[in-house]
Amino acid sequence: MKILVCISNVPDTTSKINFTADNTQFDTTGVQFVINPNDEFGLTRAMWFKEKQGATVHVATVGGQQAEPTIRKALAIGADEAIRVNTEPTDGFFVAQQLAEVIKQSEYDLIIAGRESIDYNGGMVPGIIAALLDINFVNTCIGLEIEGNNATAIREIDGGKEKIATTLPLIVGGQKGLVEESDLKIPNMRGIMMARQKKLNVVDPVEAIKATQDTKFDKPAPKGPIKMIDPNNLDELINLLHNEAKVI
């Protein structure tokens, strides 16, 4: 089985976010970038298929040279080969077209992408890839088993879970539950050293449509002042919650 894991290079959630050029551009100064968490769950599941079923695992990202440390981490975790499409990921539809072209070149059996990236939260890339390539698609996937050419997936739905039987080739939009946080792998020194010897293919982007454009960013409003209430003064607390905060 040949697996492709799509990786997004995203800011660490602990990073302080700022914008420049009149709030039209993201300021990367001092920001540490990591593997998108939803993608990392997918990568860990792909490594399970490699260990248990002998699958070959490739990873792909759309981004400039600054994304290479992130894709190298995926190699250090255990992926066999990496592909970087040398262009900035400015739009979900544009990214999906680039990844679809990568998939066409190698005919992967299983493609795992995160349900969404934590920077723009578009939630569109895996679904668009499935539409472009006309392959089976399961979103919000929290469980996946493969036996031969058959796949059994569990996805999260409103109020419960849904179990789906389908066939390969398949693309899933993964999230927490595909594996648990305790299952995530941390690269060891041996993996880091081996990653330097693994192939990282840099490919040119294909001509593709950019369907959307970000025009401006707004940060959340600053938090208001905090009002301290004496723990013994429950009447005042109830009064403020009822008349001022209006939450009860």
3-state helix, strand, coil in the chain (%, to 5): 30, 30, 40
Q: Is 139 exposed, middle or buried (0-12, 13-18, 19+ CB in 10 A)?
A: buried
Token pair, residue 61, equals 């990202």
* pTM recorded for the entire structure: 0.88
Residue 109 has pLDDT above 90, yes or no: yes
Asked whether the CA dihedral 137, 107, 46, 186 is positive or negative, the reply is negative
Quote the CA–CA distance of 136 and 21 in Å, as a whole number. Answer: 42
Q: Is domain 2-217 in CATH 3.30.1330.10, yes or no? A: no
**Kind plus residue range of the DSSP H or E element containing 6:** strand 2-6
Domain spans, the chain: 2-217
Residue 136 confidence class, pLDDT cut points 50, 70, 90: very high
Residue 93 confidence class, pLDDT cut points 50, 70, 90: very high
Per cent of the chain over pLDDT 70 is: 100
**pLDDT tens-digit profile of 137-166?**
999 999 999 999 999 999 999 999 999 999
Cis peptide before 169 (omega within 30 of 0): yes
DSSP 211: -
Quote the CA–CA distance of 73 and 79 in Å, as a whole number. Answer: 9
End-to-end CA distance of the chain: 56
